[in-house]
Chain A
């Protein structure tokens, strides 16, 4: 067969582009300026609407820059609502803030900027927040006291998760992701293409700094690394739940339980015990569904986002927030998520009464047995305090 494909594609495309008459650049600029104005107006309307109910000046959509430091931020305590825990969140502008759980207003800025999305974790006593920050062309995990203070660098990594006893920190160590930007577009951050060996789950002793590293199994295809999207500790501190992203073509999603004493790898392996996948056991399309993300609840059940369907072309027909048992059996449905949106930052509060998750950048809360509702928007990550 001749390789006329490329030549015909190029000549056909050349003829096509010669025949079109794209509008001038001013049309794109006008459209871009309209988008800027529309976002600003939306943000202002939201702020007014919520601010009227919450008292004071609010900025409850974090898509746009908030007011200058020291203005527009109330000084209400973190847990303003009895029974509803406080919330810590990363805004779209990369600030780490404490949110009022009733109004969604930021009550305290812990870190002004540079915080990466993905996950934010809180120590069991609620005194310290762990987060990932972009430092140059790498991500590192830092901690900051909820009471306020300077962030402390811990180590290179992302997606922190603190053990139930507060003694250990689990996180992913992987190539620099660039956050919301492709690293290839960040000046000076171009890097070699990652392979499977670049992705590991690490459990670090916070006091001594000793690390246990769990790589991908040796049989994994080096060219198809399995990225980690979330880590969550089991209530007893003996197991870790790993949410693994797709390998390629929207396939390969997995939710893996690691027995930390027995596991050698962060993915199931025929040569090593200690890791097992959680099956999607509920629903008519279970066989084609996958877990986008999952976390442990305090009672040992799992709070998960189940999406249908895997594979190409990408076409989501359902995205469900559910509580399931360790074997994937349905316990209850929390909410029906929007298809086409990513559902991340799933978290159950330590008392087990409240759930939160991000739908896109919208923060939803759900109390046991009640409908989920939106609290605020413009966030990259959130967790209960």
Chain B
């Protein structure tokens, strides 16, 4: 039996965090908001099960991320967004550093971006990222390392390159 009360409480307490995460991953506010709404809708569809998970927010994060990387959905949403609103919005009001970081993140591979954002924004450890993404810790470390290296050319002028984590593997491996 799905309980709207617990869902509403969960939604209200987490939707902003998840939207912030998706924005960092997609670089598009409209796309982030749509993916997050889709993920919460799917969570409500099966709330009787999802509510019993140890970390429902991790489930929503994962679903929203998967929705965001669907090529079909991306294309369709972009067309819809252009029809409705024209070109993507200007990110006015955000700090230049944040705009630079978001722009740089969009230029690196999606798995590396996911690892970087989960680690540096959500604060997950390598092991937690491995559990959430289903990738071995070694792979997560490699993605963090490669992601960090990939960001260098785009962030050196702003002196924002993330530091390596302890035990991180070489991207040359």
Contacts and interface: CB of A to CB of B under 8 A. Distances in A.
Contacts of B44: 28-29, 31-33
A17 B160 contact: no
B137 A16 contact: no
Nearest to A339: B71
A33 B45 CA distance: 6
B101 A28 contact: no
Nearest to A184: B131
Nearest to B133: A182
B142 A16 contact: no
A6 interface: yes
Contacts of B161: 1, 5
B121 A22 contact: no
A194 B55 CA distance: 21
A9 B135 contact: no
B86 interface: no
Given A1-B161, A22-B15, A340-B71, A187 B53 contact: yes
Given A1-B163, A5-B155, A16-B94, A28 B110 contact: no
B26 interface: no
A11 B33 CA distance: 19
A312 B109 contact: yes
Given A5-B162, A15-B98, A187 B52 contact: yes
Contacts of A1: 159, 161, 163
Given A16-B94, A31-B38, A223-B139, A6 B120 contact: yes
Contact of B98 (A6, A9, A224): A9
Interface residues of A, number: 55
B37 interface: yes
B17 A17 contact: yes
Contacts of B42: 32, 35
B81 interface: no
Interface string A51-62: 000000000000
Main secondary structure of the interface of B (DSSP, over half): helix
Interface residues of B, number: 73
B172 interface: no
B57 to A, nearest CB: 11
A23 B163 CA distance: 36
A216 to B, nearest CB: 13
Contacts of A185: 53-55, 58-59
A251 to B, nearest CB: 11
Contact of A12 (B8, B58, B94): B94
Given A12-B101, A20-B19, A313-B109, A28 B139 contact: no
B136 A223 contact: yes
A10 B53 CA distance: 26
Residue among B38, B101, B112 with max Cβ neighbours from chain A (10 Å): B101
Nearest to B23: A16
Contact of B135 (A16, A248, A314): A248
A125 interface: no
Interface string B110-127: 111000010011000001
Contacts of A299: none
B10 to A, nearest CB: 8
Nearest to B71: A340
Contacts of B112: 312
Interface string B23-59: 1100001000100111011111101000011110011
12 contacts: A5-B155, A8-B95, A10-B121, A11-B98, A17-B16, A17-B20, A22-B33, A28-B43, A185-B54, A190-B131, A221-B138, A340-B72
Closest CB pairs A-B (n = 3): A223-B138, A12-B98, A32-B44
